[in-house]
Structure 1
Amino acid sequence: MQPVSLLQRGLWLEYATLGWNVIGTVVVLVAAVRTGSAALAGFGLDSAIEIFASVVVVWQLKGLEQGREASALKLIGAAFIALATYVLVQSVWTLLTASHPAPSPLAIVWLLATCVVMLLLAWGKLVTGRQLGNVVLSTEARVTLIDAALAGAVLIGVGLNSLFGWWWADPLAGFVIVYYGLTEGRAAWKHAAA
């Protein structure tokens, strides 16, 4: 495949991620407000960060000759560290105040669909990024893979709360987001500095 068509495929994968996450951010944040779920709020913010990361990758792919790689990686890393900080505070607050989030069937369906869609998009980005030799697209593929994993973790927390009334499972799912946010934020910054 020619580099131009690979580049176009990379851009289309980012546009698909943007579209899914724009809709998802609204769906999940509305569900978070209605249910009082720290995990859903964190996942909604993660979707917003995924939007930001996709915009950064599009910016980088459209300016390959301008040496935007390090800046793009730093921006993605900073966004993940900010996400982790917010979700940590929100999850601790939920546990300390023993807030009981309400169930959300809509959020459960959306999270399940997000797991599948993000796994497919992550695979496409990884393959395309490797074929292009583009570290930013390959790094953002991991961000998308983590989005799928986080959707799964939040799905488990929200599902346990819905099925068994285990309200504490919701903020514990938020801690998964904290861990991955910090890990990916550090990795992006480290790669930018290399």
Structure 2
Amino acid sequence: MTTMAHKVSVKKGVNIEIISIIWMVIEAAVAISSGIIAHSLSLVAFGADSIIELIAAGVLLWRLTIEVRGASLARVKKAEKTSSWVVGIALFLLAVYIVIASLDKLITHQGADSTYIGIGLAIASGIIMPYLSRAKKRIGSDIDSKALRADGSCSIVCAYMAWTVLAGVVIIALLGWWWIDSIAALALVYFVVKEGWEAVQEARGKEDACGCCH
């Protein structure tokens, strides 16, 4: 790939990350606010994960922006590693919170209200994130960026989480099963722990780590 073509692809990477960050801000705000209103743990957890992913995306955007400007990437490697540690630990803490809160809701029989805003958000995220995932992986391959390709993998994980949340809120809306929100939240723990482990592996310098938080 020529230098000019490489720069064009990096700029595309910057643009796709900006779009991703904008959507993550919307996703986090809507998920957390509607989750609090509806007492939905799965929606709040989904929004909290979006905030953590937003931090990781911000670091990647910073790296790509520096590359666009032609500067060396050496000075951001330490920041990337620190970010990976912060994100990994935050994800593990989020997983612990989800487990404790879910068990508490199940024991005390606390259910969530149906939320059509949550349904709409989950549908939108389930559609948008696979598109962003494909774009990031394609551009990541063009510029030989493992970080951007990994971020694309993170986007598809976000889509899986959205579909899990969607299943929960739809069942609540249609059948009124009070316990399904806690079960859906517990299902998110797998994705959260997986992201956290991959982030920690990246922070430890594992070259083949394919985590979401590079």
Assess same fold via TM > 0.5.
yes
CA distance in 2, matches of 1:20, 1:40: 16
Q: Partner residue of 1:12?
A: 15
Shift of 1:67: 4.9
Q: Partner residue of 2:69?
A: none
Q: Percent same amino acid among aligned pairs? A: 28
CA distance in 1, matches of 2:179, 2:161: 17
Amino acid at match of 1:30: S
Question: Is residue 2:109 matched to residue 1:122?
Answer: no
Amino acid at match of 1:131: D
Give structure 2 stretches of 5+ with no counterpart: 67-72, 207-214
- Bigger radius of gyration: 2
76-85 or 46-55, larger mean C-alpha shift: 76-85
Question: Is residue 2:155 matched to residue 1:144?
Answer: yes
CA distance in 2, matches of 1:118, 1:136: 17
**Residue 40 of structure 1 is aligned with which of 43, 46, 50?**
43
Tell me the C-alpha RMSD between the 2 structures. Answer: 1.7
Question: Is residue 2:68 matched to residue 1:56?
Answer: no
**Contact 1:57 1:72 (C-alpha < 8 Å) held by counterparts:** no
Report the CA distance shift for 1:61/1:79 in structure 2 as closer, same or farther (over 3 A). farther
Shift of 1:119: 0.8
* TM-score normalised over the length of structure 2: 0.83
57-66 or 12-21, larger mean C-alpha shift: 57-66
Greater percentage in helix:
1
CA distance in 1, matches of 2:141, 2:86: 21
Shift of 1:49: 1.5
Give structure 1 stretches of 5+ with no counterpart: none
CA distance in 2, matches of 1:157, 1:183: 21
